Each structure stands twice: as structure tokens, then as C-alpha cells.
Amino acid sequence: MVRFKRVLAVVMATSMVLGSSLTAFASPIATTGQGDYEGNKVDYPVLSVTLPTADSTSGQFKYIADPNGLIKESGSQRYSGATWASDAQGVFFKNGENSYGALSKPLVVSNQNAQSIVLSVSLANKTPGQNVAYKNSSTFTGTDKEIYLALYNSDYSKSSAISQATAEGNTTYTAAKLDLLIQGKPSNYALKYSKVTTDAKSETYHYEQISNPTWNQESVYVGGLLNMAADWTSGEDTAAITFPEVTVTWDYAAAPLVTIKSGIASTVTLNKKASGEDSITVSKVTLADGTVVAASNYTATAATAAANATVTLKADWITAAAPACVGDGYVITVVYSDSTSEPIVLLAK
């Protein structure tokens, strides 16, 4: 009997617990959560390029014309201790402490930026020579008194020479010009969250240059040759030989740096603008190796006097191209209907 009472007591106790859990309800607790916007895409530091000053190139493009070989035959008596390049062809530039050669001392421009630039260098006639004409080819034919003056890039793969043409008694001179891409280095910058300066009020995301970066640069030379088959005999007055004076100028423009993401189309605003009433269209887009991008992979708008040209790279093409656009990016080139072109740098992140 006692044992039965104990079992009954346990059953009754369990029933009380269950009954309690069924009748006592807790009040619901509500919590909220709001997303914090981390920030906009961060731009790289503003483009800044230091070009050589006039003082640093003073006399750099002055040359000596010696078609009759007087320097060599005299043992360089006029220029004591100087050395002369044996492969020069009548034109000598001072390119060292006391050395002379067919090429000038280089004009060097370093691009210390994330963005790429197009360096434009021009070699133009300032004062024409007398009884000496410009030849725009390094190969001479005939016996005319001619000079070849040209620009060369660092590996001599590109060159451009001054030329002249005479029509109806008027002579016009066309400058030599080189447009050279100097790629930037986005990899020389790291994204940081800190105060930009000690005086800044708060911390922000920004790009900081890494320690001991290396940069891309380009060197440009002026070179010259004479037609050694000519009779280089100077006379008096109108028969006198005087050689032309040239001017070298340089400038740069930023190449578009476009951040791309796989699967997302990207529209690029280009630098190209038309100066007249006629528009300039995009003829083609090429890869770094010269391969032409299929026209189905992009759309383009023309350059007008009021608006820059644009190119929209389609999403599928971006997906295929993204793996090649890491690191410091990948260069593609837009070619226009007026035969000019400009590069775009695609950077995948």
C-alpha cells in the first residue's frame, strides 16, 4: 500500500510540472539589426607626373654635323679627350661626360602612379636649315644634302622622323611624334583604414604606397644621320650650309583605369573627343597581342565635339577576360575611324 502511494505521488508531481509548463507563457522578445554601409569604392591617389624641366635638358638635343669626317681624321683635336661612336653617320649628340654618339642622352619619364599614362613626345623643326633638307627615312638615295632626325623609344621598336614637303614654293614641316604607354602599378598601393594625415579628424579607407616600390619608366632618344653620299661643301651667302634647329616637347594624358568584376558589364568613358562637326567612331578594340575583339562583345558610342567616345564591355566578355586582368591590370586598345588610338587598363578585383 505504501509503495502504491509513492508511485501515485510521483505521477501527481509529474502532472503538476506538465500542467505548469502548459499554462505559463513567456512574453516574446524582439531585437533589431541594421546594416552598416562600409563605404564607397576607394580611388587611387590623384595622378601626378613630373616631366623633365627645360633646364635639365639644356643642350641635350644640340648636335654636331660632321659629314666630312674631320673629327675622326684629326684625332678629335678640337674636342680633347672625347670619345666618338664608330657607328654614327655624320651626326653626333653629346650623350655622356665627354662622349658623343648617334643618339642623344635619353629623356626619361617615370610613372609613379597606379594609373597608366600616354607620354607624347614631339620633335619639331624650329629653324630650318639652309641647303639641308629633312629626310623622313634612314635610308638615303641619291646625293642630296639630307638629314634624318628622329625620335626613338627605349628599345628602338618605335621611331618617328621630321619630314618636309615643298609645293608651289612653300615648304611645310611635319614634326616627329611618339605616343608611348607607361603603365602604372596599382600593386604598389595597399588599402588601409587609418587617418590619412595626423591632422585628420577620423579614420578612413584609403590607398597608401607600399615600401620600396618599383615603377615603370620610358626613355626617349633623338637620333640623327646624314646622307654621306652628298657633296658637303659650304659656300658663301645662299651657298652656305646651315643645319636645322629642332624643338623637343613632351606631355602626357591619363589612360582610363577601369575596375571590372566578373559577370558585370563595364562602360568606359574614353579621352577621345572630336574637334569639328564630324563624329569619330570606334573602328575596333584590340588585345595586347593585337587580336581584334569581336564586335559582338562590346558596344560603342562615337566621339563628338560635345561628348567623349564610350565603350561598353559586355558581361560575358568581362567574365572571360577577368583572369588576365589581375595584378597591375591588362591593356586593351581602342582604335578610331581617324586612325588614332588610345589604351584602356582593365583591373579585376
Which is nearest to 297 in space by CA: 273, 324, 270, 321?
A: 321
pLDDT for 27: 86
Rounded-to-integer distance, Cα 155 and Cα 158, Å: 8
Spatial distance between the Cα atoms of 194 and 203, rounded to a whole number of angstroms: 4
Please write the tens of the pLDDT for every residue from 2-22: 444 444 444 444 444 545 555
The answer for residues whose C-beta is within 8 angstroms of residue 167's C-beta and 6 or more apart is none
Q: Tell me the domain boundaries of the chain.
A: 55-183+216-254, 256-348
Q: Are 288 and 330 in contact (CB under 8 A)?
A: yes
- Does CATH number 2.60.40.10 belong to domain 256-348? yes
pLDDT of residue 174: 98
Residue 151 has pLDDT above 50, yes or no: yes
Question: Taking 60 as the threshold, does the pLDDT of residue 1 lie above it?
Answer: no
| C-alpha closest to that of 48 among 190, 252, 189, 345 | 252
Is the per-residue pLDDT at 59 higher than 90?
A: no
Closest by Cα among 315, 342, 317, 340 to 331: 342
Average pLDDT, the chain: 92
Residues 168-197, mean pLDDT to the nearest whole number? 96
Length of the chain (residues): 349
For residues 181 and 77, what is the distance between their CA atoms, to the nearest angstrom?
Answer: 43
More confident residue, 58 or 289: 289
28: left (phi over 0), alpha (psi -120 to 50) or beta: beta
The model's pLDDT over 20-36, given as tens digits with 9 standing for 90+, comes to 555 566 789 999 999 99
* 90-142 per-position pLDDT tens digit: 999 999 999 999 999 999 999 999 999 999 999 999 999 999 999 999 999 99
Chain-centroid distance of CA 105 in Å reads 22
Q: Mean per-residue pLDDT for 223-250?
A: 97
- H-helix segments, 233-333: 315-321
SS3 287: coil
Q: Are the beta carbons of 158 and 177 closer than 8 angstroms?
A: no
Instruction: Assign 3-state DSSP to the chain and report helix, strand, coil percentages, each to 5.
Output: 15, 40, 50
| Identity at 283, one-letter amino acid code | S
